[in-house]
Structure 1
Amino acid sequence: MRLFIILFSALYISLYISYAGAACPAVTWQETVTLKKINDGDTVTLSDGRLVRFIGINTPEINHRERHKSEPFAIDAKILLEKYINKGDKLHLVFDKQRQDKYGRLLAYVYSKTGRNLALLQLQAGLAEQWVVAGNDRFWSCFQGAENQARAAKKGIWSSFTPLSATDLKKSY
């Protein structure tokens, strides 16, 4: 049993290191747009009225009617974006397999005018979890590495996260 635990730990550490070291590939912008407003940590409104939902992440939700009822770290995720982008800034968009969600929002990897991947920024700060929807997985590996690093460092949403041990799992059908 001890050998199994040692081997499992070694495998986990090697996988963690490979993901943590994964870099997001360089990209060519497919569209350059102008920011009108930051809605929350993973959605922005463009000057032409389109809503853009960041591909690859999910941030905690803001309750816009009663901000004090927002999910933990939701306001922090929005504030982090406000440090890097402002109304009137140019943003660069890169698309993946699906360009629109069921709510009509444009789906894109969003970059600041300086080329910073804003979804990756949220993951690194621990203010988002990786979220792959509709096969939009172009940056899966580098996003997973960023989330793993934030989890290990107990940043943001991961600050009080404790995974269940195998013995705590219950068999259910």
Structure 2
Amino acid sequence: MKLTRKWQLLPVMMDFCLRRKFNINMKIKKAIVFLILLSVSLISYRAFCEELPEVGKVVWVDDGDTFVLEGGEKVRLLGINCPEKPHKDKPGECFGYEATRFAIKLLKRKKVRLEYDRIKRDRYHRLLAYVFLPSGEMANAIIVRKGFGYVLTVPPNKKYRARLLRAQRLALDENLGMWKHCKPEKEEYYYIGNLRSYIFHRPSCKFGKMTSSKNVITFSTRKQAFYQGFAPCRRCKP
């Protein structure tokens, strides 16, 4: 996030230096541009070459898909999403407590191995990782397989999408966990999916209506959307 902001500021800084504010000679202008480009390049290089932990011990579990490693690094399980438990003034979601308890049992005090995809941190600076237990099993897939979470694909991070989707389909077929206990307040006649974002919406959702026609796919039921690996819109909550 910090890197993106600096890139966005680059043309503004250059314009400020070259045209609007400073009445200076060309050599100084070129030197300023060079220093700006150099600083941004160094920031980019540092972000690209950042050493990320490959193993660590889980010391705290925040909720079903987020935990903390010894040393303080916060990790977000990649490729899945779990129901939220109540937090401060925000109400929880169905099966939020159950997902958190399952993640605690699965992960706490375990030494885990982290595997990354193309984007390695989110906007909150949390590590985005596929997490492997001492047994070699992937925690992300276990949580989905037991019905405590669902597949959430955020391109370009799609390395294990097929594996996670297989786990989700088994949970759906067996009606496990949240698939058994959590039902929508209102069923729609159909749902709108976005082939680019892997998100599905209610027909009335303004974000669904904004989907380009070439990226639209429709589903007759919520289960069908989940079965194809689409996640529900956070706004219209289908």
TM-score w.r.t. the length of structure 1 is: 0.71
User: In structure 2, what is the Cα distance between the partners aligned to 1:112 and 1:104?
Assistant: 23
Answering whether residue 114 of structure 2 is matched by residue 105 of structure 1, we say: no
User: In structure 1, what is the Cα distance between the partners aligned to 2:93 and 2:139?
Assistant: 20
Structure 2 counterpart of 1:32, which letter?
V
Answering whether residue 70 of structure 2 is matched by residue 33 of structure 1, we say: no
Higher relative contact order, structure no. (Cα contacts within 8 Å, ≥ 6 residues apart): 1
The DSSP-based 3-state class of the residue aligned with 1:109 is strand
> What does residue 118 of structure 1 align with?
139
> What does residue 128 of structure 1 align with?
149
Highest CA radius of gyration, 1 or 2?
Answer: 2
Question: Larger % of helix: which?
Answer: 2
Question: Within 5 A, what are the aligned runs for 1:10-29?
Answer: none
Instruction: State percent identity of aligned pairs.
Output: 28
Q: Which runs of 5+ in 2 are unaligned?
A: 1-52, 192-202, 210-238
Structure 2 counterpart of 1:84, which letter?
L
Conserved? CA contact 1:110–1:118, under 8 Å: yes
How big is each residue's C-alpha offset from its partner over 1:40-92, in whole Å with a ceiling of 9 and x where there is no partner?
1100011111110000100001124479x4211111112222223323x3111
Deviation of the 1:118 alpha carbon: 0.7
Structure 2 counterpart of 1:113, which letter?
P
Answering whether residue 81 of structure 2 is matched by residue 62 of structure 1, we say: no
Please provide the CA RMSD for this pair: 2.5
How big is each residue's C-alpha offset from its partner over 1:88-132, in whole Å with a ceiling of 9 and x where there is no partner?
x31110000100001110000011222221110111011111011
> What does residue 68 of structure 2 align with?
45
Paired residue total = 140
User: In structure 2, what is the Cα distance between the partners aligned to 1:73 and 1:118?
Assistant: 18
